[in-house]
Amino acid sequence: MVKGIGIDTTDINEVDRLLKIRGDAFLDKVFTKKEIEASLKVPNQTEFLATRFAAKEAVFKAVAHLTKSKSFDFRIVETLNEADGRPYVNMEGELKKILIDAGVNNILISLTTECNFATAFVIAQVID
């Protein structure tokens, strides 16, 4: 059963600007260690990070309204890739507690880029 959906579009140029002016401070404040490590292994780090930023926002939009507090720090959302390249949201750690509170046990995610924009679409669901 679908519990929530979320979508977000991020300007890749803005992520590039933040990387240039804030560097590691921006990376460390917004992304997980695994996301940063993965971004160093792809041809376009800025595009990769922009999709991850959009993913954080989309997960927040799909899940936060289901929690008691109606909020959480979206920086705990970690989006990685399967061996075949498919993205997935790591549902462990702090996010796992939030998902339990929200009654969500599965997250589907799709990421795409077009021109200077990165978009993430998320479905938060409960599977029996």
Residue ranges of domains in the chain? 2-125
Q: What is the pLDDT at residue 107?
A: 98
Whether 128 shows a pLDDT value over 90: the answer reads no
CA dihedral 108, 91, 114, 28 (to 10 degrees): 170
Report whether 49 contacts 41 (CB < 8 A). no
Whether 54 shows a pLDDT value over 90: the answer reads yes
Other CB atoms within 10 A of residue 15 CB = 24
Q: What is the pTM of this model?
A: 0.96
**Please, what is the average pLDDT of the chain?**
97
CA distance 10 to 46: 11
Q: What is the pLDDT at residue 89?
A: 98
User: Averaged over 86-95, what is the pLDDT?
Assistant: 96
The CATH fold assigned to 2-125 is Ribosomal Protein L22; Chain A (3.90.470)
Report whether 29 contacts 53 (CB < 8 A). no
Q: What is the pLDDT at residue 74?
A: 85
